Amino acid sequence: MSVLDPVPTLQERDWPSFSAFELTDTLSSCSSRSSLGPDHITWVHLKAVLENEKSVQLLITLADACIRVGHWPKHFKDSVLVIIPKPGKPTYSTPKSFRPIVLLNTVGKLIEKMISNRLQFEMIKYDLVHPNQVGGVRQRSTEDAGLFLTHLVCTGWAKGKKMSMLAFDIAQFFPLSIMPCFWPSFASKGSCPLW
Amino acid sequence: MNVYSDNDKTAILYLRDHVDELPSFHYMGGDFNVHSSMWDPEVTHHWWAAITLLEIAADLDLERTEPSNPGPTFISHNADLRSLVIDLMFYRISKSVRSRTRRDPDSKGPTDHIPLTMIITLNLVIEAVTRQSIARESDAKKAFIEHLRTGVPAIALGTLNTAADIDRVAQALADVFSSAWDKHSHKVCTTKRSQSWWDDKCTKSLSQYKLEKSHESWLLFRRAVKAAKRKFFDLRIDEIAGSNKRPWDLMEWVKQRKLPACEAIQYNGQPCHQISTLWDALHNTYNLASG
């Protein structure tokens, strides 16, 4: 199979409703120290609220409905933009010397994290990512990439070859990844059966 | 901006070379060591240093303001030397009013320069930093969490089959959060001298002392401060040692970073002085796939 062959489309998988455990498990891994968004609700507050069974059910129902209907409410998209100067720059006259970060509302982030956990699980279980992809996959780190690279180089040397490397970086990749291409590739992997 | 330019005109030369990179100022003033017939009637010339200085000021949208009581600003301790005008004040063009600036020879003291005063209007530019906040470990905080605990489960779910239904529930959640915040938060004013350990008792005992001005109330205030500090730092130590286990939060390098010196952000060779142009610069740098 070459890169030009079409990727076979996998069969659609079910998307079961979220469980209470998924929610509490996701919530327990959230830092109590992270900055708050425009709703002023921190993870500590949300943890206190979600000790109540009824609140847990409310959020799960809401999360399931978001997936089922295919709608992400505006409240989850409200954000505050904070611009932080990067330390130790010789000059602060270029925008690149600053790092903007966006703080979102907590409930939306919780549901996003639940969805992300699901996708991480599916990705590994159904073998959806390329084995060489390191970014964005849990339990794979830069060290793995470095180890793989040194392994390749050492293998080459062992065969008595000269090794060279071409590295490139795609700037602004996320804004470039155009949605019309994104969804079909997502669907071909058998995900998102509901919209 | 305060300026001191030595006899070699170092600061003037520096400003001439960097004037495009500077943000807009309300005021510029200082000892420029520049002589000119423009401000000193004893001088007969108007040479390049004075011309350059005026050009720099014009580029910064500033204009020299003549004191309402003109006269020398430098009176040498050596009585044989002539008094000079070398200290200058600049203010926004169109706003420079003569009466704003004056020399104050009476408060000169032992120095050889005469103090200059200027009234600068900073309306809406430098506001006190106020924000809504709920203090940690306070009753308001407990009430805030309790409000959320009762408010969230009380939201009516109904059927969630359309986008409008989801928006309704999300909005109800947002309303509970914002009403709890509005009800329990209060305005705090942060100044340079604000201390994180300061509490209500300190405020009360301080106002008591200001009323009575007695030794006893001063002691009470000191005691309140000591108690507040001890309570705050014991909590901090407990938190660092027990719950978050992050002793490095006490190190310099995780503390709030000093902001870089005032510098205008340049985008496409143009300095950005307005919020809208700043926004465009950041947006185009980080969000737009412009290739």
B130-153 pLDDT per residue, tens: 778 887 778 889 999 999 999 999
Task: Say if residue B13 is in the same domain as residue B99.
Answer: yes
Task: Say if residue B62 is in the same domain as residue B139.
Answer: no
Query: What is the residue-averaged pLDDT of chain A?
Result: 86
Rounded Cα gap, residues A111 and B169, in angstroms: 14
**Contact between chains at A95 and B244 (C-beta distance less than 8 A):** no
Instruction: Give SS3 for B96.
Output: coil
* pLDDT at residue B191 tops 80: no
Q: What pLDDT, on the 0 to 100 scale, is given for residue B124?
A: 53
Q: What pLDDT, on the 0 to 100 scale, is given for residue B260?
A: 62
**Contact between chains at B266 and A93 (C-beta distance less than 8 A):** yes
- Greater confidence (A181 vs A85) lies with A85
**CB < 8 Å to B169, chain A:** 58, 62, 65, 73
- Greater confidence (A7 vs A75) lies with A75
Task: Say if residue B45 is in the same domain as residue B86.
Answer: yes
Rounded Cα gap, residues B201 and A16, in angstroms: 54
What's the one-letter identity of residue B170?
Answer: A
Q: What pLDDT, on the 0 to 100 scale, is given for residue A21?
A: 94
Percent of chain B with pLDDT over 90: 21
Residues A130-159: tens digit of each pLDDT:
888 888 888 889 999 999 999 999 999 999
For A172, the closest chain B residue by CA position comes to B289
Task: Say if residue B96 is in the same domain as residue B139.
Answer: no
The complex scores an ipTM of 0.81
Task: Say if residue B136 is in the same domain as residue B229.
Answer: no
Is B189 touching A (CB cutoff 8 A)?
no
Domain span at B290: 258-291
Q: What pLDDT, on the 0 to 100 scale, is given for residue B61?
A: 81
Task: Say if residue B82 is in the same domain as residue B169.
Answer: no
Is B263 touching A (CB cutoff 8 A)?
yes
Report, as an integer, the average pLDDT of B83-98.
75
Residues A51-65: tens digit of each pLDDT:
999 999 999 999 999
Query: Which of A39, A40, A176, A181 would best serve as a mutation to test chain B binding (most B beta carbons within 10 A)?
Result: A40
In Å, how far is A77's CA from the nearest CA of chain B?
11
In Å, how far is A155's CA from the nearest CA of chain B?
37
Query: Which of B166, B186, B246 would best serve as a mutation to test chain A binding (most A beta carbons within 10 A)?
Result: B166
* pLDDT at residue B27 tops 70: yes
Q: CA gyration radius for chain B?
A: 29
Instruction: Give SS3 for A194.
Output: coil
pTM: 0.65
Q: What pLDDT, on the 0 to 100 scale, is given for residue B174?
A: 92
> Which band of pLDDT confidence, cut at 50, 70 and 90, is reported for residue B291?
very low
Task: Say if residue B136 is in the same domain as residue B234.
Answer: no
CA B286 to the chain's CA centroid: 27
Task: Say if residue B266 is in the same domain as residue B253.
Answer: no
**Contact between chains at B174 and A52 (C-beta distance less than 8 A):** no
> How many domains, in total, are found in chain B?
4
> Residue ranges of the alpha helices (H) in B192-270?
200-212, 215-238
Task: Say if residue B203 is in the same domain as residue B291.
Answer: no
Query: Which of A45, A60, A74, A179 would best serve as a mutation to test chain B binding (most B beta carbons within 10 A)?
Result: A45
Is B167 touching A (CB cutoff 8 A)?
yes
Report, as an integer, the average pLDDT of B219-241.
90
Query: What is the residue-averaged pLDDT of chain B?
Result: 83
Task: Say if residue B148 is in the same domain as residue B230.
Answer: no
What's the one-letter identity of residue B211?
Answer: L
Q: What pLDDT, on the 0 to 100 scale, is given for residue B261?
A: 64
Task: Say if residue B58 is in the same domain as residue B10.
Answer: yes
